[in-house]
A and B are shown apart, each in its own frame.
Chain A
């Protein structure tokens, strides 16, 4: 394989594996769903993730070390509708050692429109729908940014288990969140011509099921809603969790194949009143997903709590930050 094709493969892998910037937090009654690091949580809010830093090694042969630094700003237009913008800067280290040339640049900018559809306090349940758009040609081709848009309609949900019977008190701090999206590329194929040989290469851009989940155990919930057992204050702010972020090509898969790729991420989030800090390991689910365990960390600011009377409130809506989704109950 020539260096050109090797590099193209690396860029493709980077485009697939690049960390999705994100993540809002959501409060539903007793339950606070934190901003998860690699999948989006089920709510909408005014918030800022900056920075999110991920280090990993791609599944290529030889593997390439990759660093992604991303941010996301999310702004509520109404109480239940938000728009977010997320740039990601990527650096790909040179394969085979420092003598070869790596690549750096921004990935395509992503915009997500998200609407909170349903909220039920009693059962700690919330659901939202959204549309994520990756704007083609807004990033650098050197790091795998495609020239076409990708549209991903997505369903998000969160369910806390605080409604379990008291005999299962130990399980009530658990919560499950998830997302299911269908990524539709704006172009079915990408045609490239090798300037040296004149060879034409046609790559089929697959439609991809983008799915994931998180299982959380909230120690803040344990203290405030189940049992205050006198743990140290720092521990009472922790939410241990496991996230899974997966992608499965499902159609137009002539080039990509249909193998599911992604990572399983055990980690922990410290949640404060105005910001949270999270760190997770990134364990590839198979060889195509990566060749080593990576790591991701994030600082996330709750702008609705930091600036409740200015940029932290919806542009349109009442003065009380309560929220009334289309269906369900108030928080």
Chain B
């Protein structure tokens, strides 16, 4: 058992420092996931757990009727490649669905969605 324990420890020591890349999962957003904001944001910000490939990472925002409410294309921030920015039109009160699809720099593709609400 002592030998097995040493082997396990060695694997842990070897593997964890090697960890540098992974699936890009949504870490946080502004407005926050599932939140209600009193004033309409001009931009949606998404932060991921890994750097993104700009050409293959995007997000869309739709209102309750399914119409897009973006004022421009989503783009990866030039100074922080974990951040995806989505410019928005002036949003009236309502619920909005965010759908994102990204490719991390290690070529793992992930996607997801969430909602936020504008209004009282």
- Any A CB within 8 A of the CB of B110: yes
Q: 0/1 per residue, A288-310, Cβ < 8 Å to B?
A: 00000000000101101111110
- Any B CB within 8 A of the CB of A118: no
Q: 0/1 per residue, B23-35, Cβ < 8 Å to A?
A: 1011111001111
Please state if A224 and B25 are interface contacts (CB–CB under 8 Å). Answer: yes
A69-B1, A228-B28, A299-B8 known; A320 and B109 CB under 8 Å?
A: yes
Please state if B21 and A308 are interface contacts (CB–CB under 8 Å). Answer: yes
Please state if A306 and B18 are interface contacts (CB–CB under 8 Å). Answer: yes
Contacts of B27 in A (CB 8 A): 224
For residues 31 through 74 of chain B, which have their beta carbon under 8 Å from a beta carbon of chain A? 32-35, 49-50
Query: Chain A interface mostly helix, strand, loop or mixed?
Result: mixed
Please state if B1 and A91 are interface contacts (CB–CB under 8 Å). Answer: yes
For residues 197 through 244 of chain A, which have their beta carbon under 8 Å from a beta carbon of chain B? 220, 223-229
Contacts of A275 in B (CB 8 A): 15-16, 19
A223-B33, A308-B108, A320-B109 known; A27 and B4 CB under 8 Å?
A: no
Contacts of B33 in A (CB 8 A): 223-228
| A30 (CB) vs chain B CBs: closest residue | B112
Query: Which single member of A32, A169, A228, A331 contacts B109 (CB below 8 Å)?
Result: A331
Please state if B25 and A307 are interface contacts (CB–CB under 8 Å). Answer: no
- B interface residue numbers (CB < 8 A to A): 1, 4-5, 7-8, 11-12, 15-16, 18-23, 25-29, 32-35, 49-50, 103, 106-115
